[in-house]
């Protein structure tokens, strides 16, 4: 059975993939949604004790994801949302995966486009350097602006209660500072890697925290002969895996990845 690996982003857990897991499993695939180290508990538990979030590092996340995909019998399709999109790019660059999809991806190192909406979305963490040692949550209004700005009030509140956890100030600050430090840092990729598996960026046109300009800039950094494409859904916000109409995006992402991985589509 072919395997799809789904990588979650910050401020959420693997629970944010629950709809996609069910859809892909019903389509006949084995689906893995690995948690970051220490995140193997429920949302409610992490909110009660965010110590694993405070202790999180990007190298630890990448090492764990490598252990998951490296243990498979054959390369999987890897899909990642937000920070999970950046981790997906790192995994592809390191030779893992048959194809990859990055949805509203956080940028890899060297992408310096910083729209105002992104600054506002990440300000709760980046406003204070002391947050480098903390797990920093979003208020409901901050969540609405960064994740669900095109959702109804009822959807916003329900998804906040079901998915939201604090994010690692350590990893977010590390990503910001990486572009000002010499040499490769945690989220480095080789943009000239011709052996990298095909990569698709899916961008939500209304995404505040990882807007289309970030996705397009990230894609343009790739100079290799490997396939790199960008598709934009104009009316989608950051949390597009849970937004009305997500089924269309899930099916498109899967079809694109299956084709570019050279797999035979399941009936």
Give the domain ranges of the chain: 3-261
CA atoms within 13 A on the CB side of 56: 31
Do residues 94 and 86 touch, judged by C-beta distance below 8 A?
Answer: no
Query: What are the φ/ψ torsions at residue 7 (nearest 5 degrees)?
Result: -110, 120
CATH architecture designation of domain 3-261:
3-Layer(aba) Sandwich (3.40)
Q: Is the dihedral of CA 216, 78, 84, 224 positive or negative?
A: negative
Low-confidence ranges of the chain (pLDDT < 70): 176-184, 267
Q: Which of 30, 29, 34 is nearest to 6 (CA)?
A: 34
**pLDDT value, residue 182:** 56
**pLDDT value, residue 127:** 87
Name the average pLDDT for the chain: 94
State the pTM of this model. Answer: 0.95
**pLDDT value, residue 223:** 96
**pLDDT value, residue 132:** 87
Q: What order do you get walking across the sheet with 30-32 strand by strand?
A: 30-32, 3-7, 77-81, 99-103, 199-204, 228-233
**pLDDT value, residue 113:** 86
**pLDDT value, residue 235:** 96
**pLDDT value, residue 180:** 59
């Amino acid at each position: 059975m072919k395997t799809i690996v789904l990588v979650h982003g910050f401020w959420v857990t693997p629970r944010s993939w629950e709809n996609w897991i069910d859809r892909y499993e019903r389509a006949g695939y084995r689906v893995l949604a690995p948690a970051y180290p220490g995140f193997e508990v429920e949302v409610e538990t992490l909110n009660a004790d965010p110590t694993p979030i405070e202790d999180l590092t990007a190298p630890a996340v990448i090492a764990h994801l490598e252990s998951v995909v490296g243990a498979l019998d054959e390369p999987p399709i890897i899909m990642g949302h937000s920070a999970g999109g950046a981790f997906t790019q790192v995994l592809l660059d390191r030779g893992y995966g048959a194809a990859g999809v990055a949805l509203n991806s956080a940028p890899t190192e060297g992408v310096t486009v910083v729209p105002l909406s992104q600054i506002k979305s990440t300000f709760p963490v980046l406003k204070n350097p002391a947050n480098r040692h903390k797990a920093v949550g979003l208020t409901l209004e901050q969540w609405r602006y960064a994740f669900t700005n095109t959702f109804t009030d009822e959807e916003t509140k329900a998804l906040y209660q079901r998915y939201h956890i604090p994010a690692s100030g350590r990893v977010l600050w590390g990503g910001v500072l990486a572009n000002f430090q010499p040499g490769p840092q945690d989220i480095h990729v080789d943009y000239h890697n011709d052996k990298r598996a095909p990569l698709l960026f899916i961008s939500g046109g209304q995404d505040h925290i990882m807007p289309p300009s970030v996705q397009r800039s990230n894609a343009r950094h790739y100079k290799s002969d490997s396939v790199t494409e960008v598709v934009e859904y104009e009316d989608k916000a950051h949390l597009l895996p849970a937004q009305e109409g997500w089924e269309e995006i899930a099916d498109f992402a899967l079809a694109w990845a299956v084709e570019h991985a050279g797999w035979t589509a399941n009936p």
